[in-house]
Amino acid sequence: MSRGKFTVAGGGPVGALLAILLGRHGYEVGLYEGRPDSRKTSIYQGRSINIALSDRGWHSLEQIGIGADAKSEAIPMFHRAIHGIDGELSALPYGKEWNAIWSVSRSGINQQLLDIADQEAGIETHFEHWLMDVDFETARTVFQVNREHEVTVDADYLFAADGANSKVRRLAHNLPRFSYSQTYMPQSYIELHIPANADGSHKIEKNALHIWPRKDFMLIALPNTDGTFTCTLFLNHSGEPSFESLQERAAVEAFFESNFADAMDYLENPVDTFMEKTASPLFLVQVFPWSFNRKVGLIGDAAHAIVPFYGQGMNCGFEDCAELNRLIETHDHDWDAIFPAYENARKPNGDAIAELSKRNFVEMSDLSGDRRFQIRKMIEAKFSARYPGLWTPLYSMVTFSPEVPYAEALRVGDEQNRVMEKIMGLPGIENDWDKQYVMDQLHALAKASFGERQ
């Protein structure tokens, strides 16, 4: 017997995962996507074909039993490969030697989840259904089908998983006391490409996230299973240099040759691509509330669109689903209790990862190529290995510690930063970073800040 009926607007990875979780709790679920079925028609052309998944995302996927299958198609990246402007290459580990973030196919994860959803008895999937209207009192929705006619869908509840440009969220602007902010980053981006070698192997190191940090801008590359790399150039929208200022071919060629000389041997027609593509903006969205009338909820990017510099967008959306899954059990399907508990639990964490993702652009584009920053990371890694109960580096808390909420990671990370500023102010730290007195000093400061846990 059905526990009730849900409409899920948005058939991307978060929407599909949510539909599966709801279906397995005994609800009837209608999953509606405006685009064609990606398993039949390519809808990812021109967009990132891979994303970074970390422990938070895997933990959520494992709840429905697909973690191992998805990982078999993923590539572990154990460190950042930092490409200096002089061509020097250095490695910055993500954590302990077994810690990795994983390059996975966005379309592959999406299609796996849709296949599982289709196998669930209580779930029906609908494509080329464009959301037109929502009744926030009743959860009734109106969709335009194949851009030809409209259908009205009645349900007990609605979840909007329709992404950073959520139509449900835009419609919610008409509701009273709905707080909304959208903030654009100075940077925009275009995607570039590194092809595979003739034998299908990778042209550069496979098990690394490659970064060409250039302070105000950067190039990154993530590996794909077919031997290619998906590359993204993040550059200011305006100013010098910027997408606006680089209009002439000669200027674009000079820009690439002077800043990414070592990458030019691998990139496929970067100048032509730069000239042809329109840069896409980067923006953050923060809203409250995340639910309306105990009937309609926002989830994933619809609730908290963030920028990609911590690689946590999809991880955070999957974690939304995991938290909702827990609350359904905790509150025994009482949605009058679940909706407010969900937004109160997740809103602070959505805000925290938004802040952390903004900050991480500076770390990736500027600090990662700085020798003092690399020394600082080595000090933290050595200290954490010696006192794991006293110090977990911020990146490890965010990426490899799903039991630590984003908001707690932000709070602890800020305190760690204050401690490390004192350590990096020690005379001669560049030469003495691995000496015992540095560990002793850091232990005293950490113990005073965090208490003796180890």
* 428, part of any domain: yes
Closest CA to 15 of 243, 431, 299: 299
The pLDDT of residue 44:
52
Q: Residues 360, 362, 365, 366: is their CA dihedral positive or negative?
A: negative
- Same domain for 408 and 396: yes
- Token pair recorded at residue 335: 């949605």
- Same domain for 290 and 241: no
* Residue 425 pLDDT > 90: yes
The pLDDT of residue 71:
85
What's the mean pLDDT in 298-321? 94
Report the share of the chain in percent with pLDDT over 70.
96
Radius of gyration from C-alpha coordinates of the chain: 23
- The pLDDT tens digits of the residues spanning 138-153 come to 999 999 998 889 999 9
* 339, part of any domain: yes
- The pLDDT tens digits of the residues spanning 72-109 come to 889 999 999 999 999 899 898 887 778 899 999 888 89
- The pLDDT tens digits of the residues spanning 360-402 come to 888 777 766 678 888 998 999 999 999 998 999 999 999 999 9
Pick the last residue of a domain from 360, 394, 417: 360
Least confident segment among 43-47, 84-88, 126-130, 348-352: 43-47
What's the mean pLDDT in 428-435? 93
The pLDDT of residue 361:
84
Three-state DSSP at 139 gives: coil
- Same domain for 166 and 109: yes
* Residue 260 pLDDT > 90: yes
The pLDDT of residue 364:
77
- Same domain for 49 and 130: yes
What's the mean pLDDT in 159-165? 96
* 344, part of any domain: yes
- Same domain for 298 and 440: no
Q: What is the dihedral of CA 144, 150, 152, 153, to 10 degrees?
A: -40
Residue 452: band (very low, low, confident or very high) from pLDDT cuts 50, 70, 90: low
What's the mean pLDDT in 314-322? 96
Per the prediction, the chain carries an average pLDDT of 92
CB neighbours (10 Å) of residue 345?
Answer: 15
The pLDDT of residue 124:
97
Pick the last residue of a domain from 304, 329, 360: 360
CB 400 within 8 A of CB 95: yes
* 27, part of any domain: yes
In this structure, what DSSP letter does residue 368 have? G
* 304, part of any domain: yes
The pLDDT of residue 41:
79
Strands 280-288 and 229-236: unpaired
* 82, part of any domain: no
* 196-204, Cβ contacts within 8 angstroms, sequence gap of 24 or more: 196/226, 196/227, 196/228, 197/227, 200/226, 200/227, 201/227, 202/227, 202/228, 202/229, 203/227, 203/229, 203/266, 204/81, 204/229, 204/266
The pLDDT of residue 218:
94
- The pLDDT tens digits of the residues spanning 2-57 come to 799 999 999 999 999 999 999 999 999 999 999 999 888 765 544 446 789 999 99
* 94, part of any domain: no
SS (H, E, C) 152-188: EECCCEEEECCCCCCHHHHHHCCCCCCEEEEEEEEEE
- Same domain for 135 and 60: yes
User: How many structural domains does the chain have?
Assistant: 3
Report the share of the chain in percent with pLDDT over 90.
82
Look up the domain containing 401 and give its range: 370-450
- Same domain for 404 and 302: no
The pLDDT of residue 49:
65
Closest CA to 283 of 237, 321, 228, 248: 237
- Same domain for 424 and 390: yes
The pLDDT of residue 95:
78
* Residue 404 pLDDT > 90: yes
* Residue 327 pLDDT > 90: yes
- Same domain for 431 and 389: yes
Query: Domain holding 333: CATH number?
Result: 3.50.50.60
pTM of the model: 0.92
- Same domain for 341 and 207: no
* 87, part of any domain: no
CA atoms within 13 A of residue 167's CA, in its CB half-sphere: 18
CB 291 within 8 A of CB 339: yes
- Same domain for 440 and 305: no
Strands 149-153 and 79-83: unpaired
The pLDDT of residue 40:
87
Closest CA to 312 of 19, 56, 68, 26: 56
- Same domain for 134 and 42: yes
Pick the last residue of a domain from 247, 281, 315: 281
The pLDDT of residue 46:
44
